[in-house]
Structure 1
Amino acid sequence: MKTILVTGSNGLLGQKITQRILETQQFNLVASSKGRNRFPQVAGYLYAEMDILNAQNVREVVERYKPDAIIHTAAMTNVDTAHDHREEADCLNVESVATLIAICAEHNIQLVHLSTDFIFDGADGPYDELAAPNPLSYYGQTKLKAEELIKTSGIKWAILRTILVYGIVNDMSRSNIVLWAKGALEKGKPINVVNDQFRMPTLAEDLADCCLLAVEKDAYGVYNASGKDMMSIAELVGQVADFWKLDRSLINEVSSDSLNQNAKRPLRTGFILDKAITELGYQPRSFVEGLSVLKAQMEINPIQ
């Protein structure tokens, strides 16, 4: 049975990977994150405190547990934070990858790395895996740099590009578009939502499955791994309102330019998913199916 080391295991995707491995018992898991373990179940896997920015710490953890694959989910993903804190973004999104590449090369470990639609300019979406990148934001630039390091590294690697991941876990450190919209509308707050940015939102469970498929099948290369439904952000929030029977009139549609955000966003991304579906067996759910997954989880555990 393969052993997988997951970085950023306290994050949304990291916790979903932990959950899936515990359900399937298909892999041995070493979960790792900075600080204490926030996943509610502690049995059935190992947890290692690991600071991805401390190369020696990373090396010690990898050499102690000897994983066959590393799934690298830890990153700075806030686009405006990366724009404002570029050195920190470089450390988290580029230097940590260089550290993992070096260690994977020494120990013949597969690296499964999470990337983003923000490596594209949004002029020509949806994109396949061979489309030419042209990031508009510093965040996108850091993620593209990491991809380029991996592609020229000579190690065993798979890059999974994803879009606007949503989901829920017990101990959320960050919100996401679905929870933000639902929470604001439930409180009766009017919200401004852009109607000129188009995405394919990704259920965290589906992305976790794709990560594990990449390990199971020894995947090599770039794979698109997003949801399958293309919609504007305004349409997305409208669907959230409809699903939970909330007041759509609170949604105020605006253009991207009106928000005056520091970091520029691509207008239309989206992915062609044929490669991941055919080669890995990836099966993304529709957006409404994804919302049903969240609703069921909230009913089981209302404290979320």
Structure 2
Amino acid sequence: MKILLTGSNGLLGQKLVALLRQQPEVALVATARGTNRLADLYPDLRFVPLDVTDAAQVRQVLAAEQPTHLIHTAAMTQVDECELNQAACWTQNVTAVEYLAGTCADLGIHLTHLSTDFIFNGQAGPLAEDAVPDPISHYGASKLAAERLVQATPGLRWAIARTVLVYGTVHGGGRSNIVLWVRDSLRKGQQIKVVSDQWRTPTLAEDLALGCWLIAQHSAQGIYHLSGRELLTPYQMAQQVAAFFELDATLLEQVDASTFTQPAKRPPRTGFLIEKAQRELGYQPRSFVEGIALLAQQSS
């Protein structure tokens, strides 16, 4: 099988490159906007620059490469940035998906599209795949619009992989994550405010990559919830980080979400039920403490 990956420079994209390179039956084509951030790690990686918001480029690259499967991880994911730059958010998260889905349908390519718990209002979690979406931010609205577009594309073989609060280490810089932020702040003796009235099932990036690979491997169709199993508040996550690294947990200040002024609303309680992915795909995520241990190995 030949897999074309969008967003190969991002957190999930990088983990997918690392995983898919190890599969003998996979020919991998990595794509992203701009230059390949993984060139020094994998000099032999096939990389093609691709701007998914350019319809002609999408068609040209997919027609030239002829993948059997496409895993679409490229997106604008900073929730506040999406709220403040709504047109750019829509172009990257919806218009691009329209181009990809249409071209995949025309060329008979199986599409795995990444989505998010932010399509829900956060009034009831953890959630199964059939929960009713009701986004409360522009980011959530854009991701729901993209899901509906994928589902409505005639002739497309598709899977939607929804996930929650992905954390992991990125090669070549990038956004931090809750584990490293808490660890590094506590190591410096800094007091930090951590929210205790939001609930998530945090997802290790390596586990999410594995879930996406399982979907592609099975050519699975439909919606799958891929996240960790444990429903935790960021404050509880921070406590586990402090305990793992034997740092001073008294520096963690428990606050509620209203402490922070952010342009976009966050759903208070999401988290996923992952039984469908476990049953149909054999998806088995690591525990949060196992995720912390892996990040500890990857970053000093």
Settle same-fold status: TM greater than 0.5. Answer: yes
Write the deviation string for residues 209-237 of structure 1: whole angstroms up to 9, x where unpaired: 01010011011000000011111111011
Is 1:178 aligned with 2:212? no
- CA gap 1:14/1:208 in 2 versus in 1, 3 angstroms: same
What's the counterpart of residue 108 of structure 1?
108
- Deviates most, 116-125 or 240-249: 240-249
What amino acid is the match of 2:260? L
Q: How does 1:141-290 map to 2 (within 5 A)?
A: 141-154=141-154, 155-290=156-291
| Deviation of 1:24 (Å) | 2.7
- Contact kept, 8 Å, 1:28 with 1:45, in 2: the verdict is no
Q: How does 1:118-137 map to 2 (within 5 A)?
A: 118-137=118-137
- Name the CA distance, whole Å, in 1 between partners of 2:34 and 2:263: 31
- Contact kept, 8 Å, 1:11 with 1:172, in 2: the verdict is no
What's the counterpart of residue 41 of structure 1?
41
- Name the CA distance, whole Å, in 1 between partners of 2:186 and 2:241: 9
Secondary structure at the aligned position of 1:23 is classed as: coil
Unaligned runs of 5+ in 2: none
- Deviates most, 12-21 or 237-246: 237-246
| Deviation of 1:43 (Å) | 4.2
| Deviation of 1:44 (Å) | 4.6
What's the counterpart of residue 10 of structure 2?
11
- Name the CA distance, whole Å, in 1 between partners of 2:222 and 2:253: 41
| Deviation of 1:41 (Å) | 2.7
Write the deviation string for residues 104-137 of structure 1: whole angstroms up to 9, x where unpaired: 1110111101100011111111110001011111
- Name the CA distance, whole Å, in 1 between partners of 2:129 and 2:70: 22
| Deviation of 1:296 (Å) | 2.0
Unaligned runs of 5+ in 1: none
- Contact kept, 8 Å, 1:197 with 1:266, in 2: the verdict is yes
TM-score when normalising by structure 2: 0.96
Aligned residues: 298
- Name the CA distance, whole Å, in 2 between partners of 1:192 and 1:159: 34
Write the deviation string for residues 122-175 of structure 1: whole angstroms up to 9, x where unpaired: 111111000101111111000000001011113000000000001113213222
| Deviation of 1:186 (Å) | 1.9
- Name the CA distance, whole Å, in 2 between partners of 1:151 and 1:232: 32
- Name the CA distance, whole Å, in 1 between partners of 2:99 and 2:88: 15
- Deviates most, 25-34 or 92-101: 25-34
- Name the CA distance, whole Å, in 2 between partners of 1:103 and 1:47: 20
Runs (4+) off by over 6 Å: none
What amino acid is the match of 2:48? A
- Name the CA distance, whole Å, in 2 between partners of 1:115 and 1:83: 17
Write the deviation string for residues 164-207 of structure 1: whole angstroms up to 9, x where unpaired: 00111321322222222222222222111110000000000000
Secondary structure at the aligned position of 1:210 is classed as: helix
Write the deviation string for residues 30-89 of structure 1: whole angstroms up to 9, x where unpaired: 000111111133345310111122121222211111111110001111111101000010
